[in-house]
């Protein structure tokens, strides 16, 4: 085991999700709730979580599977590649979000900046994302997750800021009315 002790809340959430938990959600729980996860999750911290969950017989398919999936899907691209990729964000750190987003948005408290940077990356990527329905902009769940992990607020605060920005006309949703639609800057 390493010097890193997993956050008990993360362990509880992962166990509650059970087999339905996707590896990206596993990484996201660590990024969002573990105080040691700054600018992505270190290899040592990730290994500590896998080891703790292995000790509790959590992994039905074997404890190496989440690590293998993360390693297989990790890219060194600094910008968005696709929705199922993980990103190297420094020496021995991996994140659900590209390094460019961490660089540009770390500590940011204005969701318009998130929408601007994320839209630019997603729309210039070969595969982009199919979440959030048709159209342009950033899928709302992706925006809120990035804001909560990279930005200067919790997911609840990000949700409230998004609603307020929509009310002020500073951010808009695509007209297709997808409940997890795309958020964009007004034209």
* SS3 (DSSP) at 114: helix
> By C-alpha distance, which of 181, 80, 169, 168 is closest to 125?
80
Report pTM.
0.88
Measured in whole angstroms, how far is the alpha carbon of residue 39 from the centre of its chain? 11
Q: Per residue of the chain (187 residues), give pLDDT as tens.
A: 446 789 999 999 998 988 788 889 999 999 999 877 678 999 999 999 988 988 887 765 665 678 889 999 999 999 999 889 999 998 899 999 999 999 999 989 999 999 999 999 998 887 766 665 567 889 999 999 999 999 978 899 999 999 999 999 999 987 656 567 889 999 8
**CB-count exposure of residue 97 (10 Å: 0-12, 13-18, 19+):** buried
Helix H or strand E encompassing 148 = helix 140-150
Check residue 183 and give its pLDDT: 93
Instruction: Return the number of other C-beta atoms located less than 10 Å from residue 60's C-beta.
Output: 8
Q: Which tokens go with 121?
A: 């990356």
Distance CA 75, CA 3 (A): 26
Residue 108 neighbours by CB distance under 10 Å: 18
């Amino acid at each position: 085991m390493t010097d890193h002790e997993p956050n008990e809340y993360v362990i509880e959430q992962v166990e509650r999700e059970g087999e339905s938990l996707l590896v990206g959600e596993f990484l996201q729980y660590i990024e969002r709730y573990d105080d040691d996860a700054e600018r992505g999750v270190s290899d040592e911290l990730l290994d500590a979580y896998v080891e703790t969950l292995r000790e509790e017989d959590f992994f039905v398919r074997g404890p190496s599977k989440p690590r293998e999936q993360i390693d297989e899907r990790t890219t060194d691209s600094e910008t968005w590649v696709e929705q199922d990729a993980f990103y190297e964000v420094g020496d021995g750190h991996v994140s659900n979000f590209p390094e460019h987003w961490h660089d540009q948005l770390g500590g940011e408290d204005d969701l318009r900046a998130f929408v601007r940077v994320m839209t630019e990356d997603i729309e210039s990527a070969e595969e982009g994302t199919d979440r959030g329905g048709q159209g342009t902009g950033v899928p709302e769940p992706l925006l809120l997750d990035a804001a909560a992990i990279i930005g200067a607020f919790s997911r609840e605060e990000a949700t409230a800021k998004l609603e307020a920005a929509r009310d002020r006309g500073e951010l808009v949703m695509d007209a297709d009315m997808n409940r997890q639609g795309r958020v964009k800057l007004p034209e």
